[in-house]
Structure 1
Amino acid sequence: MIKVTVKKKDNYIVDLKISGHANSDEYGKDLVCAGVSTASIGTLNMLVKKDFLNRNLGTIEVDEGYINVVVNQVDDICQVVLETLVVILETMVESYSQYIKISIMEV
């Protein structure tokens, strides 16, 4: 199962973590995992393009089956990018809830 954890402070995303594998099909045919990976990597690429790292707004960690974005300084554009990813993943949950779980919490 893919687990998504979103932590918000004052309604801003301060931590977004994605871990695990969908295992909805065999490797190379798992469309759920491919969809989450594509949306996630596209989001990370946009954050980099918007200088998220260069402006020291936060950190990005990527490993096999693991992504973590920590926001140290809120930026409206980067928040929209992260919120868009959350909406995409929530949309996927509507059809694939047995493979994706999202937890959103205020910290």
Structure 2
Amino acid sequence: MIQVTVFRSNNQIESFELSGHADSGPYGYDLVCAGVSAVSIGAVNAVMELCETDLEIEQGGEGGYLHVEIPRSLKGEKREKAMLLFEGMLVSLKSIEAEYGQFIRLENK
């Protein structure tokens, strides 16, 4: 199962973490994993390009691990854009969870 954990402070995303594998299909044909990967990596790339910022990213191969931290130095309009893009990512991940809840779980902390 893919576990998505969102860490918030004052209702703003500080970081998020994805871990595990969906195992909803054979390797290379796992649509849940592909969807989660596309949504999350797409959001990370969008924030980095559109907000002109570097994010603190930690990735691991075998465990299906991604940890992304928004720098505290990101302020003003760029921070607002980043929050909107990451909240959009969460809307998409919630849609995947609604359809494939046995393979993905979202949690806010």
TM over 0.5: yes
Q: Among all aligned residue pairs of Structure 1 and Structure 2, give the percentage whose two residues are the same amino acid.
A: 37
Partner of 2:57: 60
Whole-Å separation in 1 of the counterparts to 2:25 and 2:4: 20
Report runs of 4+ in structure 1 exceeding 6 Å deviation. Answer: none
More strand by share: 1
1:80 to 79, 84, 92: 84
Q: Deviations over 1:74-95 (max 9, x none)?
A: 5101111111111110111111
Q: CA RMSD in A?
A: 1.2
Deviation of 1:27 after TM superposition, in Å, equals 0.4
Whole-Å separation in 2 of the counterparts to 1:6 and 1:91: 16
Check the 8 A contact 1:15/1:70 in 2, yes or no: yes
Q: Deviations over 1:51-103 (max 9, x none)?
A: 221xxxx4122232111111232510111111111111011111100000111
Whole-Å separation in 1 of the counterparts to 2:20 and 2:8: 21
TM-score by length of 2: 0.86
Gaps in structure 1 of 5+ consecutive residues: none
The residue identity in structure 2 corresponding to 1:66 is Y
Partner of 1:94: 98
Check the 8 A contact 1:52/1:78 in 2, yes or no: no
The residue identity in structure 1 corresponding to 2:56 is T
